[in-house]
Structure 1
Amino acid sequence: MRIPALPAALALLPVLAACAQTQIQPMTRDTFKVATHAAPACGPSGARNVAFKSAAIEVIRKGGDRFVILGDHSDSGLQGDFLRGFQQNYSQGMVVKMVPEGSPEARNALSARETLGADWHAIVAKGTPTTCG
């Protein structure tokens, strides 16, 4: 067993445990924006997955199930300094519109419950994900 690697691995646990932050901004009564910022460990697909799950959770919290993504934007940037080095971080933005059941759009809309899977109750109860795994 390599003991010197253990402190480094333990130091990374908090970084991996809380690698994403998401904010929800209402835009209209049935539309909101999801803004997710993710650490380097997440990568662009991790940021996208957290934003998409967060959108599904918010739709259910607002009493709906069906939704469509009206807009989608991803970005990345560097943070840090020359002494400690630079790290790339990722962001994902989505504009989400809730679609009423029985409306013509509902046939083509996504289901928040199906998006989150069979355990959607527990996922919604936990809230917005802070990890990208």
Structure 2
Amino acid sequence: MKFIHVPAAIALFGLVACAETAVQPMSKDTFKIDTRTDSDCGAVAARNIAFKAAAIEVIRKGGDKFIITGDNTDSDFWGGTYTQGMVVKMIPDKSPEARNALSARETLGSDWQNVVAKGVPQMCV
């Protein structure tokens, strides 16, 4: 009897996503994004996916302006996974901080509505 390594078999059939992201509310205007990618994606992909997730979540919460107030990058000892954490604060459009804030729509590009509809990527690109 021949056994197939389960993760390899799952990857073979395309059922494994190389990235996963979680959103944790911290207050009415602040939330945390945690993204984990496997070694095929790398640290840069983890950061890019987390940043895109932040912009998507800001729009889903009815805003556009945001700032990153906290940032944490890590990898496991063997380089198998990369994690990216970001604390995101939504900024009201008419507040003094809005001048220096990032635009979620601009971050996602001209096709931002489709990006938001598709949600946070689960594969690194």
TM-score range, shorter chain: 0.7 to 0.9
Q: State the partner residue of 2:65.
A: 66
Q: Give the unaligned 5+ runs of structure 2.
A: 1-7
Q: Given the two structures, how large is their TM-score scaled by the length of structure 2?
A: 0.87
What CA distance in whole angstroms lies between the structure 2 residues aligned with 1:46 and 1:14? 19
How do residues 1-133 of structure 1 correspond to structure 2 at under 5 angstroms? 11=11, 14=14, 18-78=17-77, 88-133=80-125
Q: Given the two structures, how large is their TM-score scaled by the length of structure 1?
A: 0.82
Aligned residues between the structures: 117
Structure 1 segments of 4 or more deviating over 6 A? none
Deviation of 1:12 (Å): 5.3
The structure that has the greater radius of gyration is 1
Deviation of 1:14 (Å): 2.5
When you count strand as a share of all residues, which structure comes out higher? 1
Identity of aligned residues (%): 62
Q: Give the unaligned 5+ runs of structure 1.
A: 1-7, 79-85
What CA distance in whole angstroms lies between the structure 2 residues aligned with 1:12 and 1:28? 41
What CA distance in whole angstroms lies between the structure 1 residues aligned with 2:29 and 2:70? 14
**SS of the residue aligned with 1:14?**
coil
